[in-house]
A and B are shown apart, each in its own frame.
Chain A
């Protein structure tokens, strides 16, 4: 009896597998396939799912608006990179096998860079909504685009804010040793020294740590004017903020774009009040953003995450370019992408020759559980 059961289950599983293969064959034809790459599991899953949903909503909006002539359907293939270079390359290969023509992603720069090289071999267009490392667009890949800002713009903006607005003289920097967080933290350290701010210490913690009491006790005894938190994840950022407040640290707290997420306030609550974060300026009162926000809430039940709007705009840009080109041929789509100049949910999207779309870092302050724009790095003025 038991054996029979096992046999039935095994056959059923096999059947499913075969059915899966069969379905794929049928899907061929005039379907526009785009992929997303982001960490859907692991510690960065929050940002990763925001990216996936942003792209899916872009497709939905586009389809509702009539889709693209010549294509019966637009399909999204989400892939999990887990913020791991090896898995990102595997994901890229999977998308190549699915015959996608454009990819939105990835999240961690350390995944985006190797994945983009795999995709480049097949001339697939990649638009990253979240990777801020300068290297992403400095390698001269023709089909690599970036909708968010760059670290080498973010670090000086943060330091300028510390010096000009807050009059900070000493800082303590903590990062968690990822390509992104450490690179940015080093950028901040260098810019701070150049600006005459003393870096008391630049310490590191491990990814996924929950206990920061030891390093925060060090911060407390060093007594800096400002604690710069460069972690890869908003949830761990929230833990650091809670523990800092509990230890009685009075320094100004400042984070960066990976810490910037509504989940930060949800976890840290009152402890995060008055904290600063740098993030690209997104005008949340703009009609385009409002429209996107409504749609996002409707579909996911959540507020858009930090990178949702960038992801939405990346996917939209790609779909607009395909529509204008009338084909998925990468050369023609790239031409159309370069011509684009549209108001997205996140910002005015206009790609430059190297694939960047410019940085517009703004300092946000957490006030009453909301990120409130506080200081504009481009104009140097408070809002």
Chain B
């Protein structure tokens, strides 16, 4: 098939990969700091998507400009999910910090089911649609279509990533995060409140997931209570693929999974896209278990 087809698929792949990367960042940060795979992370993403549609619809009904609505809703939904994640951490993970890892993992799975059902019961089983004034629009480059939403997703992902990097590598909180992830006990001895740092990590990860949730809602037009599950698994795969615990790795992993999926669907068949995404994951785990960008995480360090 021709070049236009390839370029169009490339754009599709980058958009999808960017979304996966944003969700994967939360997985990777939480794993990096307390070696916990937070299965409830996909639900923060869904909650963010719902918060977005509720806020945008409300603000739009107040007669605000669609883009102003979007900006305010984005900030509020990210804040909401950050608080939600801190509450979840306090309730479901903190009491189990000294328990076996399996207990924390099961607690995470339970939290995921609880949150998903909570969304279903409060928001209903039907899909909720985003207002179209924001979601539609785009332009043509020859025969290639680019929607404004795609540009927005890639741009916002890049901006959030830069912000996250600044936070982790240039601030005191970031330094404390890195220290806690290396050694919780030693960092506590030098005066870092590790419980607070862990809560902040959860909050930042969930805020990024919330942003991804809103973008998915805008990009695809609607949100659904069960929308967190599949992207959650894919983002988890992306985090592992890139090297779990590594921020750049999450970005690279997300982009790879997104691209592989789109190209498998585009050149082979739509039913094979998940197969190929996970074949890549299994291959990486087999040949380079630490992931593409990962270093060895010492288990005994916890």
Contacts and interface: CB of A to CB of B under 8 A. Distances in A.
B273 A238 contact: no
B289 interface: no
Contacts of B265: 205, 214-215
A271 B220 CA distance: 12
Contacts of A220: 8, 143
Nearest to B221: A242
B226 interface: yes
Contact of A206 (B5, B221, B271): B271
B222 A239 contact: yes
A213 B16 contact: yes
A269 B125 contact: no
Interface in A314-331: none
A208 B147 CA distance: 23
B127 A246 contact: no
A85 interface: no
Query: What range describes how many residues of A lie at the interface?
Result: 35 or more
B266 A217 contact: yes
A177 B216 contact: no
B298 interface: no
Best-buried of B2, B231, B263, B269 by chain A (most CB within 10 Å): B269
A217 B5 contact: yes
Contacts of A206: 270-271, 273-274
A171 B226 CA distance: 32
Contacts of A49: 125
Nearest to B135: A242
Contacts of A269: 129, 132
Interface in A226-256: 235, 238-239, 242-243, 246-248
Nearest to A247: B145
A48 to B, nearest CB: 8
Interface string A38-63: 00111101100100000000000000
B74 interface: no
A246 B270 contact: no
Interface stretch (A96-104, A260-268, A288-296): A260-268
Contacts of A177: 271
Contacts of A213: 9, 12, 15-16, 262
Interface residues of B, number: 43
B138 interface: yes
Interface in B1-25: 1-2, 4-5, 8-9, 12-13, 15-16
A212 B265 CA distance: 9
A224 B194 CA distance: 59
B275 to A, nearest CB: 10
Best-buried of B1, B224, B230 by chain A (most CB within 10 Å): B224
Best-buried of A210, A243, A270, A271 by chain B (most CB within 10 Å): A210
B120 interface: yes
Contacts of B145: 246-248
Interface string A281-317: 0000000000000000000000000000000000000
B296 interface: no
Given A41-B120, A177-B271, A235-B224, A246 B147 contact: yes
Contacts of B273: 206, 214
A242 B134 CA distance: 13
Interface in B141-165: 143, 145, 147
Contacts of A174: 270
B27 to A, nearest CB: 19
A179 B226 CA distance: 22
A219 B138 CA distance: 19
B136 interface: yes
Given A46-B125, A203-B270, A206-B270, A235 B262 contact: no
Contacts of A267: 127, 129, 221-222
Nearest to B129: A267
B126 interface: yes
B140 interface: yes
A45 B117 CA distance: 13
Nearest to B140: A248
A158 to B, nearest CB: 21
Given A239-B221, A246-B138, A248-B140, A214 B9 contact: yes
A204 interface: yes
B261 interface: yes
Contacts of B4: 221
Interface in B117-137: 120, 125-127, 129, 132, 135-136
Contacts of A238: 127, 129, 221-222
B215 to A, nearest CB: 12
Interface of B: 1-2, 4-5, 8-9, 12-13, 15-16, 120, 125-127, 129, 132, 135-136, 138, 140, 143, 145, 147, 216, 220-222, 224, 226-227, 230-231, 261-266, 269-271, 273-274
Given A209-B270, A211-B262, 7 more contacts: A46-B126, A203-B270, A205-B265, A211-B12, A214-B264, A221-B2, A269-B132
